[in-house]
Structure 1
Amino acid sequence: MVVGEIVQDKDLIVIGGGPGGYSAAIRAAQIGLDTVLIEKENMGGVCLNEGCIPSKVFTHSASTFSITKSVSQFGIQTGEVTFELERMHEWKDKVVSGLKGGVEALCKANKIEVIKGEASFLSDDRIGVESGHQFDTYRFKQAIIATGSTLIHPKHIAIDHERILDTRSIFKINTVPEHLVVLGSDYISLEAAFGYMQLGASVSIILDEETDGFGFDLSIEKELQRVLKKRKIRVYKKSRVTQVTEIEKGVKIEIESQKGKEELTCSHFFAASKQEPNTADLGLDRAGVTLSPDGYIDVNQFAQTNVASIYAVGDVTPGPALAVKALKQGKVAAENCSGHLATFDLHFIPRVAHTNPPIASVGLTEAEAVTAGYDVKVSEFAAAGNGFASILGEKEGKTKIVVDQNTDMLLGFHTIGQGAVELISHGVTALEMVARDEDLSYPFYPHPSLNENWLEAVEGIKGRAIHMAPEKKKPVTNASK
């Protein structure tokens, strides 16, 4: 290794080229900071190269295949429809390559110096970058840590990425499983289950011993469970996987539940992975940056660590490991580095599953609102009552709104059904604006459109929804007089 003798001075150094890192670097360059971005692998990070984008290519392809098989109801005759995973992977690679090239071009256009190498702190104002046999030293005024996270697998499950799969490899296999068993309750588990079911696989889901659902509002959960049953996806609730063993041409899974011990055999097994922040090799102690007991870098609302000149964003900070969080934090950190006051708040991050039908949620569930002490009023509108859903032939699902009955303030918005991913943005904005039901019922909503689910659910709060049957009044009895 050759150690550089010259220390280079920079306004800002960003470590990590994922969503949080590249958005921070671009925003800083827009403001006028001399910015260096250091990435040891691929620009775009895990999200673009292995996570968000590849998985959504898969879910969109699977959903399109499923929809195409039923387009005859619209008068479209296609003949036999087939699916080729290999062609889908080629499209995925093309999408990823194009987006990665776009990020690189944006960095170049914003005059950001991009260095491929591994960075670590030498002090609270210096970073060393190792690239092959070269080692360079940079002195910075400000630094942003955006190094992401690493997948952690259950210790008793040996992932081989062929038949026993993790969060990355589940969307890379070249054959549709005959029978896929999914261990997990997160959005990736649901996307894998729905996606491969649509491609023809038999699918089962195992929920861990403390879980009997997927963490959504109870009404959405019931609808999801109904859809899973209709799709013939079996769900094993409150179960513990004790052993996973490869057998000839398959996998054997041993589980324990309240019903006792049970064995499952399948062609492929997927275990959802947890995320561990990438902080171990950064030399944070030399910079004086402290970690929480579970290894995360604690930050304030400005994305600032305990060292005033050093910021952290994305998966290395507490909160959900989502690109949407990293993107926001990256821009906030860059703006604060340049003296422009900016803050972030994690309360209203939407939770989304690109299943078929898709699911989206933001704010408090009904149960959470009750626990928080609100006097809760809810309204639910079934997708079957929406005219555009009928046009699409996608009438499954429902939309639910949770409000505080005393103030009419929106507390939560939850939906399952076509258009859910797009509808959720309206919910995020409404919650951020502290909207009341009259704020949401006053505007015009395009007709026909799935947006009208919002209007019907909101007007249903006070029993004024046009396309919703009135609630049945309970009969008056002597006991209730």
Structure 2
Amino acid sequence: MVVGEISQQRNLIIIGGGPGGYSAAIRGAQLGLSVTLIEQADLGGVCLNKGCIPSKVFTHAATKRSETAHLQDLGISSGDDTFNIKKLLTYKDKVIDGLRAGVESLCKDNKIEIISGKATFLGVDRIGVEKGHQFDIFEFDQVIIATGSSPIMPPGLNEKGKRILLSHEIFELEEIPQHLIVKGQDYVALEVASSFAALGAKVSILLDDKTIAFDESITKELNRLFKRRKISVYKDVQLISTHEIDSEIAVTFQTEKNVEETIHGSHLFVTGSRKPNVESLGLSRIGIAQTDGGFIHIDGNMQSSIPSIYAIGDVTEGPLLAIKAIKQGKAAIEAITGHKPEVDLTFLPMVAHTIPQAVSVGLTEQHAREIGLGVRVSQFSLGGNGYASITGKKDGFIKIISDPSTEIICGIHMIGEGAIEMSGSFIQLLEMAAKEEDVKFPLYAHPGFNEGLLEAVEGLIGQAIHTPPARKKNLFNV
């Protein structure tokens, strides 16, 4: 190893080039900072290269394949209905390469210095960067840690076999599993189960609990759709062991009725806990405050217990989501440059790119009742929406929860076509503390899925046009 004899001075160093890291770098450049970005792998991080983007390529492909029957109804013949996963993998790589090139170009245009290597803290104002035999030392004014997280094996899996896949591996498969067993409770597990079933795999999903992290109405609808698509669902499962036998894996678990059961599949996909990528940073050397799980303690400005060191994204406590990292990255830069940023995760959306998509924003009906809030609930079925009939996407609904004493909307939940894109409007309404009248007043494009939001709100007071009168009586729930 060649060690640099003289330390180099830098204004701002960001360790990690994922969504949070490169967003912080670009915002820093916009605000006049000289920025150095250190990444030991590819720019874009796990999200772009192995997580968010690859997974959504698969969910997009699965959604399109599920539309084959509807295309035939429209008179469009798809011809050969076989699925070529190798072409999908080629397309996935093309998308990733294009987006990564875009990030690299943006960093170059913003005059951000990119250094490839692994960073380690040597002190509260110095880091070392190792790349091969080269080791350089940098002194900094401020540093932002944005190194992300990695999946860890859940309890019951002591060792990882070749047929056990984690989140960064499932989308590298060169074949569709004959029988994919999915163990997990989060949105990734739901997306994998939904997508691979549409792509031709037999799928069984083992849920940690009886419900998932959405409004109970969405949980019920997902269970109905899973059953219709012949996805076997096992609820409240406790994993006991796994055993690989030739071309299959046996998964043994305890059911909700305390009965031990074993199912056999070709592959097992597992989600669950993740650990922050901080082990190689040498944080113990500088005494930074961390949780028992290794996450870095930060304040409202993303500042750690050491004033010159900030942390964002998966290395901090809270939801491990790219949107959190991006928001925190921008806020950290704004705090460093003397602004007064605010990161409020109250209306952080819960999103799943299932078939159809699912979104929850704000209070669920169950949570609203648990905290003693009087609630008014309306649920509009997309089966009554004209555009849903045109597109053949009639599964799902939009559900609105409001406080009858103030008429303020406190929760919006949707499962159905367009839910992801409409979620931005849901979040804005909740952030603005919109009242029922604020949603009813505007004009909505016709025909469109957006009309479902209007009908759901009108249903709160019995005015929904495309909801049968008999059902309206059940929508008042104060």
In the superposition, the TM-score normalised over structure 2's length comes to 0.96
**How big is the shift at 1:343?**
1.5
Q: Is 1:222 paired with 2:220?
A: yes
Aligned residue number for residue 4 of structure 1: 4
Please say if residues 159 and 166 of structure 1, whose CA atoms lie closer than 8 Å, have aligned partners that are also in contact.
no
Amino acid at match of 1:271: V
- In structure 2, the residue corresponding to 1:6 is in which secondary structure? coil
Please state how far the C-alpha of 1:446 moved relative to its aligned partner. Answer: 0.8
2-structure distance, mates of 1:471, 1:301 = 49
**Structure 2: gaps spanning 5 or more residues:** none
Change (3 A) 1:236 1:7: same
Distance 1:299 1:174 in 2: 41
Which of 235, 255, 267 does residue 233 from structure 2 map onto? 235
Following TM superposition, by how much is the alpha carbon of 1:315 offset from its aligned partner in structure 2, in angstroms?
0.2
Residue 165 of structure 2: aligned partner: 165
2:188 counterpart residue number: 188
Residue 366 of structure 1 and its aligned partner are, at CA, apart by 0.7
Q: Which residue of 2 aligns with 1:479?
A: none
Q: Which moves more between the two structures, 211-220 or 278-287?
A: 278-287
Is contact 2:361–2:412 with CA below 8 Å preserved after alignment?
A: yes
Q: Distance in 2 between matches of 1:311 and 1:188?
A: 28
Aligned-residue CA RMSD in angstroms? 1.6
Q: Distance in 2 between matches of 1:70 and 1:369?
A: 38
Match of 1:70, SS state, is helix
Q: How far 1:281 sits from its partner (Å)?
A: 2.1
What amino acid is the match of 1:249?
S
**Match runs of 1:4-403 below 5 Å:** 4-157=4-157, 162-208=162-208, 211-257=209-255, 258=257, 260-403=259-402
- SS in structure 2 opposite 1:127? strand
Write out per-residue CA displacement over residues 305-326 of structure 1, whole angstroms, 9 at most, x where no aligned residue. Answer: 1222221110001111111111
Q: How far is the alpha carbon of 1:237 from its aligned partner?
A: 1.1
Give the Cα separation in 2 of the matches to 1:159 and 1:428: 41
What is the CA–CA distance in structure 2 between the aligned matches of 1:10 and 1:193, rounded to whole Å? 46
Aligned partners of 1:343, 1:284: CA distance in 2, in Å? 26
Distance, in Å, in 2 between the alignment partners of 1:164 and 1:343 is 41
User: 1:69: how far off?
Assistant: 4.1
Deviation, structure 1 residue 160:
5.1
Aligned CA distance change for structure 1 residues 471 and 407 (closer, same or farther; 3 Å): farther
AA aligned to 1:428 is I
Cα–Cα, structure 1 residues 260 and 291, in superposed 2: closer, same or farther, change >3 Å?
same
- Which residue pairs with 2:466 in the alignment? 467
SS at match of 1:82: coil
Match of 1:478 in 2: none
Give the counterpart letter for 1:412 in structure 2. Answer: G
Distance 1:92 1:85 in 2: 10
Q: TM-score scaled to structure 1, two decimals? A: 0.95
Aligned to 1:438: 437
Letter in 2 for 1:438: E
**Shift of the alpha carbon at 1:286?**
3.6
Counterpart-to-counterpart distance in 2, 1:202 and 1:3: 54
Q: Distance in 2 between matches of 1:149 and 1:204?
A: 27
In the alignment, residue 83 of structure 1 is paired with which amino acid?
A: F
Q: Which secondary structure state, in structure 2, belongs to the residue aligned with residue 197 of structure 1?
A: helix
How far does residue 273 in structure 1 lie from its aligned partner after superposition?
3.6
Q: Deviations over 1:374-428 (max 9, x none)?
A: 1111110001011111110010001111111111111111110111111111111
Matched AA of 1:125: D
SS at match of 1:93: helix
Hey, what's the Cα distance between the residues in 2 that align with 1:66 and 1:268? 22
Please identify, of 41-50 and 405-414, the stretch whose mean Cα deviation from structure 2 is larger.
405-414
Deviations 1:307-359 (A, max 9, x none): 22221110001111111111111111111112222111111111111111111
Q: Deviations over 1:100-157 (max 9, x none)?
A: 1111111111000000011122222222211222222212111111010111012532
Q: CA deviation at 1:474?
A: 7.7
